[in-house]
A and B are shown apart, each in its own frame.
Chain A
Amino acid sequence: MLRYLARRLLLLVPVILGAALIAFALLLLIPGDPAIALLGQEVSGPELARFRHILGLDRPIPVQFGLYVWRIVQGDFGRSITLHAPVLRLIRSTLPATLELAIASLLLSISVGIPLGLLAARRRGGVLDTGTMLLAQLGVSMPVFWLGVLLILLFAVKLDWLPSFGRGPALLGAVASGNLANVLDSLQHLILPAFTLAAFNLALLTRLTRWALLEVLEEDYVRTARAKGQTERAVIYRHALRNALLPIITIIGLQFGNALGGAIVTETIYGWPGMGRLVVQAIGQRDFPVVQGAVLILALLFSLVNVAVDLAYGLADPRIRYE
C-alpha cells in the first residue's frame, strides 16, 4: 500500500513538471515583453533590464524554464503585480475558502445524489424514476451561472431568506469555537453557492447511481440473493450497493476536480473570496504571476485528489491489491 502510494506520487512528478511547463509557456504566448507582463506597465527601462536579468529572461528559453522550476521548488511563485503581495500568500489566504465551498458542494451532491439515484433505481420506470431522471437531465444541461443568478434572485432577494453574497466566518473555525451564531452565519452564506456548484455533480451522480445499481441488480449473485428469499431492501443495501460503489467513487473523485474548476464561476457569481475569484480577477487584470501560480497549485491539488481516489477505490474493492 505504502509502496503503491509512493509510486503514484512519484508518477506525479512528470505531470507537475508538465503543468509547470504549460504555466511557463503561458507567459511566452503573451504578445509583448514577458518582463512587462510580470512586473506591470509602469516599470521604467533600467529597472526592467535589472528584473529581466534577475528573472533570467535574458537567457535561452530552456534555461528560463529551469530557473522558473527552481524558483517554484523553493516556494517562490513571484509577486502579484496588482495586489502588491507574494503570490503564495495570496493563494494560501484564498485556498481555504475554495476548499470549504468545494467540499460542501461535494457532500451535498453525495448526500442527495446517491439516495435519489437509489430511489429512482428501486422505482424503475415509475413516475418518481422518470421525474428524477428528467430533473437530472435538466441539471446537467443547465448553465451554472444561470442557475446561480436565479437562486440569488429567489432566495436572497425575493424571499430574503439567505444572504446574497460573500462568505461568513470560516465554517471549521466556527464549529471549533462552538459559537452557534457563527456556525449558522457561515452555513447561511454557504448554502446557495454550495448548491449552485453541486447542481451539475448532483444530477450526474443521481444518474450514475441509478445506472450502477441497475447494472448490479442484473448480476447473478443478486439473483441468488433474491432467490434465497431476501427482501428487496436487503438485496439492495447488503449486496448491490457495495458493488455499485466502485463507479460511484471514481466519479466522486472526478467531481471534486470539477468542483475546483466550477468554483471559478460560482465564486464570481456569489463574491466568494476563494481562489476562483483570485484567478478570474488576475486574468482580467493581466496579473500573470498570480495566474501562473494559481494554475500550478490547482493542477497539483487536482492530481493529488486523483491519487486519493485511486486509493479509495482500492479500499472499496477487495479485489484490488496494491503492489
Chain B
Amino acid sequence: MDSLTHASVTSRPANRPRAKRRRLTLSARAGASLLAVIVLAAVAPVLFTRANPEQVDIVARLAPPSRGHPLGTDNIGRDLLARLVYGSRVSLLVALISVGGAVLIGVTLGLLAGYYGRWAEAGIMRGVDVFLAFPAILLALALIAVLGAGVPSVIIALVLVFWTQYARVVHGATLAEREKDYVEAARAIGAGDGRILVRHILPNIISPIIILATLGMGTAVVAESTLSFLGMGVQPPTPSWGWTLAFGTRYLRDAPHIATFSGLVIMATVLGFNLLGDGIRDLLDPKFRVQ
C-alpha cells in the first residue's frame, strides 16, 4: 500500500533521443503473459478448476495440497485453487473500475485545467494539492469508515485516492500541447473547444495516461488486498485474494499454503502490471517517469 504513491513527472535530459524500440521488451512480454493467465482465470474459471469456490468441506479444512485440492483448502475447507481463480474477478474488477474512474475524473479535470487555465486551473489544481496532502491509505481508510466496508466503498475510496495523479500529468501535458500549431490550426477551421480537447489534444497526450493506468492497476490490486487485510474490504462469501491472504496469515504455521499461494497470486498480478507498464513506457514514451 506504500505503492499508493503520488506520481510526478520528470523529464530526463532530452538532448539525445533514444532509438525507438518497436517491440515490447522481454520482461514486458513476460508481464503480459502473466496477466493473460490471470485475466483468463477471471473470464473462464472452468478452464482452471472444476471445483465450486463456495463448496465447504469443514472436516477437510486447512488441508495441504493434494490430488483433490491442488492448492489445498482454506480455513473452512473450500478449495483454495477455486477461491483464488474466482477471486481474480473481484480483484480485477475493483482495479479496473477504480482505475477507470480515476482516469475519467483525472483526465477530464486535467484537460480542463490545462486548456482553460485561470480559474479552472487554479481551482482544480488546488484540489489536487489538497488530496495529495493526505497519505493515500489514510484517505481510503477514512472514507471506508464513513461509507462502510464492501466493494462499492473500496472502489469509491480508490478513485478518490488515484484521480490526482492523472489530473496532474494531464494538466502538465495539456499546458504544453495547447500552444502547439495543430491546436491553432484546428481552432482556425472552427473546431470547438470540446472537439479540440477530445479529438486533437487527448490523442497526443494519451501515452502517459496508458502507462500510469497500467501501473495503477497493480497498485489497485495491492490496495484492495490491504484494505481487506485491515477488515475494510470485500465481504464474504465473495472470494477475494486480500481476504484469503488476511486469513492465511493467521494460519501461517499450521497451513502455510494459504498465505503462500494467495500472496504469490497477488504478487504475480502486481508484477505483471508493473512489468507491462515499464515495457509500455519504454515503447511509447521513454522520457516519462513515474515515481
A residues bordering B, Cβ < 8 Å?
14-16, 18-19, 21-22, 26, 29-30, 137-138, 140-146, 149-150, 153, 157, 197, 200-201, 204, 208, 215, 218-219, 247, 250-251, 254, 257-262, 264-265, 268, 279-280, 283-284, 286, 291, 294-295, 298-300, 302-303
Contact = CB atoms under 8 A, between A and B. Distances in A.
A144 B226 contact: yes
A262 B274 contact: no
A247 B287 CA distance: 14
A298 B8 contact: no
Given A143-B226, A153-B252, A254 B263 contact: no
B281 to A, nearest CB: 11
Given A29-B147, A138-B267, A18 B133 contact: yes
B271 A302 contact: no
A261 B135 contact: yes
Interface stretch (B74-82, B137-145, B179-187): B137-145
B127 A141 contact: no
User: Which one of B3, B231, B259, B266 has the greatest number of beta carbons of chain A within 10 Å?
Assistant: B3
Contacts of A149: 249, 252, 259
B127 to A, nearest CB: 7
A238 B144 CA distance: 50
A302 B133 contact: yes
B135 A302 contact: yes
A141 B226 contact: no
B121 to A, nearest CB: 14
Contacts of B3: 140, 200
A257 B3 CA distance: 11
B37 interface: no
A265 B133 contact: no
B271 A141 contact: yes
27 contacts: A14-B126, A15-B126, A15-B133, A18-B126, A18-B127, A22-B131, A29-B146, A29-B147, A141-B274, A143-B1, A143-B229, A144-B1, A144-B226, A146-B267, A149-B249, A250-B8, A251-B291, A262-B135, A265-B1, A265-B137, A265-B230, A279-B138, A280-B141, A280-B230, A291-B142, A295-B142, A302-B134
Given A16-B133, A261-B1, A145 B229 contact: yes
A146 B245 contact: yes
A254 B3 CA distance: 11
Interface in B141-195: 141-147
B77 to A, nearest CB: 22
Nearest to A219: B13
A283 B142 contact: yes
A154 B10 CA distance: 40
Contacts of B212: none
B10 A268 contact: no
A116 B32 CA distance: 28
Nearest to B231: A284
Contacts of B10: 247, 250
A142 B267 contact: yes
Given A215-B12, A286-B145, A291-B142, A257 B135 contact: yes
A103 to B, nearest CB: 15
Contacts of A19: 130, 133-134
Categorize the interface residue count of chain B: 35 or more
Contacts of A29: 143, 146-147
A137 B136 CA distance: 21
Given A26-B142, A261-B136, A144 B259 contact: no
B116 to A, nearest CB: 20
A204 B3 CA distance: 9
A303 B133 contact: yes
Contacts of A291: 142, 145
B24 to A, nearest CB: 16
Contacts of B263: 142-143, 146
Contacts of B133: 15-16, 18-19, 299-300, 302-303
A219 B135 CA distance: 36
A208 B127 contact: no
Contacts of A264: 1, 135, 137-138, 141
A240 B175 CA distance: 32
Given A14-B130, A261-B1, A284-B145, 10 more contacts: A15-B126, A15-B133, A145-B246, A247-B10, A250-B10, A264-B137, A265-B137, A283-B144, A291-B142, A294-B138
B4 interface: yes
Contact of B13 (A146, A153, A215, A300): A215
Nearest to B218: A141
Interface in B22-66: none
A144 B222 CA distance: 9
A21 B129 CA distance: 13
A94 B114 CA distance: 41
Interface string B250-265: 0011000001000100
A302 B130 CA distance: 11
Instruction: Pick the 6 closest A-B CB pairs, nearest first.
Output: A261-B135, A18-B130, A200-B2, A141-B270, A262-B2, A283-B145
A265 B1 CA distance: 8
Contacts of A303: 133
B267 A143 contact: yes
A143 B274 contact: no
Contact of B146 (A30, A197, A201, A218): A30
Contacts of B8: 250, 254
